[in-house]
Amino acid sequence: MSDATSEVLLRARGLRAAYSVDAGEVVAVDDVSLEVRKGEVLGVAGESGCGKSTLAAVLSLTARPPLFVQAGELEVEGRRLDLGPDTSPPRTWRGEVVSLLPQGAMNSLNPTVRIRDFVVDIVRAHQPKAKRDEAIDRARERLEQLDLPRCVLDCYPHQLSGGMKQRVVTVVSALLDPRLLIADEPTSALDVSSQRVLIEMLKEMLARDIIGSVIFVTHDLPVLNTIADRIAIMYAGQIAEVGATREVIDRPRHPYSAALLSSVLVPEPAIRRRRVTGIPGSPPSLLNPPSGCRFHPRCSLASETCRTEAPPRAGDERRYSRCWWASRHPDQTVEVTA
Amino acid sequence: MTASKEEVLDRQVDGRPAPLLEARHLTRVFGHGKTAVRAVDDVSFTLGRQEVVTIVGESGSGKSTLARMVLRLLDPTSGTIHLDGRDVTRLRGKALRTYWQEVQAVFQDPFSSFNQFFTVRRLLRRSLRLTGATTDEAGEALIAQALEHVGLTPAEVLDKWPHQLSGGQRQRVMIARALMLRPRLLVADEATSMLDASLRANILNVLTDARQAYDMTILFITHDIGQACYVSDRVLVMCQGKLVEQGPVDEVIFSPRHDYTRRLLADVPRLHAVS
């Protein structure tokens, strides 16, 4: 979708965020840097507890205690923002520059008001002087553009199906034309048919430039295959591998990506003939992450170096794997059992 | 595949064992008058012994309503359920409790199926009451055996509180709880939907291994066709309360006949282009 010449929409550098707990601090996002081009969809994938939702909170400026952003820098379409423990992000960024499509959108609507009153609340939270009718008109126009029934505005949330609620929340989160939409597991609670409809709607919103780019956080790799231009695989608070979707899926360069790919259950005849074992062990506690490469206790390719030294970045900014094996075996692919 | 009425009621016809469970013309209507919804509409199916059968369909297709009727948590509006040739549709009281020893369930949400004020030990002990275990030692042995079967170390988990367990561990404790009762039928309603892909395969393996070890039939409910394809012997496809297609996995998933099944399969996201 985006070629090498298209402009960079988001540049995030050195993001670091931690949860402060009794036992110390849990660094859930540890030195993460990302780049997203205009019109591009970047997928972020990983297991539960790898820090992907925390990354979504940091990028959408919605981090709340006990989560604290410790360092980092965001640049969206030339506008820069330094993140740190003492800076509070400007109100004008939220919703207009970056916007979060939250996890479990089912519970994001107010159950006691109609959708149209909810829309008014949302718009007024950002533009206190907005007129009631203007806000409703804007939502109505948006629904028409995206071929959704206008009558949802008169409904209460419980009158809508799960898929429709998710679509409504998506429309509402993009009401102020955010340049970057951060979608946190938007499809996880939906069945496949509603998933497809939502993904087509997001693509339509990108095509109409209602949103500039999307960061799509999920644990579901097949879903990313249908929407993402590029994929970042996260493990234990860090990015393990980044690359174009087809590259990462067909030619993974990090053992963790390969392990994730081989535990995906897709309806293909081959899946019935083998025993899928998943990934041995469990994700590490981020309170005391393992030394060296954080994946080494579960990795089948781990060497002595992996246990003690943090792995180097093999590759350039848009296609890399943070792995000792990959740095010693340039251009080789980790085999996926399938 | 579908045996006629007479075959099913007599336990062994032609030397072939009768199915474990047979549901005939099950219907459930919610509400009444103009707003009545036929959530499950005239559904008939059988579950063979040690068979894994999956019900697939989109949200609102009636999968869970059907499961709840099989579990006897919900009364059917009409139709009958036979377990082992015995009519269990209207069981009440003590007879129903006996039925629940034979038919157990694992539900979707591993976070809300726990009482957060109970340790794993207390939770499992409570279920012991349904089993025949009379002494403490026999009960403890049963608990340990079930936990080991799902890949947990009893000493490590028994004294833990639910919040100290990960989602995958909780779901395994729930499966162990069901296995302890040595059920003949296990109903797993979206039991793996909230777990990571890397864990999902693991839990599905635990379930399918248990069917041999425990001589158990599994009714698995999911909207994920990838999972259905991995675990099942047979698949039932539901759409708007009706059973639109059923048969062996190879037929239903790899050469579907009904339009709805084809549409559903076309919507499934895949990793590689379909050849």
Q: Is B255 on the interface with A (CB under 8 A)?
A: no
Q: Is A277 on the interface with B (CB under 8 A)?
A: yes
CA gap A150, A193 in Å, rounded: 21
DSSP line for A5-42: TSPEEEEEEEEEEEEEETTEEEEEEEEEEEEEETT-EE
Superfamily of domain B5-267: P-loop containing nucleotide triphosphate hydrolases (3.40.50.300)
CA gap A267, B254 in Å, rounded: 8
Weakest-pLDDT range from A169-183, B128-142, B204-218: B128-142
Q: Quote the minimal CA–CA distance from B263 to chain A in Å.
A: 9
Pick B4 or B158 by higher pLDDT: B158
- pLDDT by residue (tens digit) across A23-47? 889 999 999 999 999 999 999 999 8
> For the whole model, what pTM was predicted?
0.88
pLDDT at position A199 is 95
User: What's the whole-number mean pLDDT along residues A167-189?
Assistant: 93
> A278, B230: Cβ pair inside 8 Å?
no
Query: In order of start, what are the domains of chain A with their CATH numbers?
Result: 8-104+178-328 (3.40.50.300)
Q: E-strand spans in A148-237?
A: 180-184, 213-218, 230-235
Sequence ranges of the domains in chain B: 5-267
Check pLDDT > 80 for residue B238.
yes
Q: Are B269 and A192 in contact (CB under 8 A)?
A: yes
Which residue of chain A is at minimal alpha-carbon distance from B273?
A: A225
Check pLDDT > 80 for residue A147.
yes
The rounded percent of chain A whose pLDDT value lies above 70 is 98
Q: Is A219 on the interface with B (CB under 8 A)?
A: yes
Q: Is B151 on the interface with A (CB under 8 A)?
A: no
Cα B59 to its chain centre, rounded Å, is 17
As a whole number of Å, the end-to-end CA separation of chain B is 30
Query: B-contacting residues of A 228-267, CB under 8 Å?
Result: 249-250, 259-261, 263-267
C-alpha angle B249-B251-B253 in degrees, rounded to nearest 5: 60
Please report residues of B whose CB lies closer than 8 A to that of A268: 229, 270, 272
- For residue A184, is it left (φ>0), alpha (ψ between -120 and 50) or beta? beta
Question: Mean pLDDT in chain B?
Answer: 87
> B229, A196: Cβ pair inside 8 Å?
no
* Nearest residue to A218 via CA among A228, A206, A205: A228
Check pLDDT > 60 for residue A66.
yes
- pLDDT by residue (tens digit) across B7-35? 333 344 455 578 999 999 999 999 888 88
User: What's the whole-number mean pLDDT along residues A60-89?
Assistant: 90
Q: Are A270 and A264 in contact (CB under 8 A)?
A: no
User: What's the whole-number mean pLDDT along residues B224-252?
Assistant: 94
Q: E-strand spans in chain A?
A: 8-21, 24-37, 41-45, 67-76, 79-83, 98-101, 180-184, 213-218, 230-235, 238-244, 313-316, 319-322
Please report residues of B whose CB lies closer than 8 A to that of A265: 197, 200-201, 204, 224, 226-227, 229-230
Query: Does the interface predicted TM-score (ipTM) exceed 0.95?
Result: no
Binned at pLDDT 50, 70 and 90, residue B134 comes out as confident
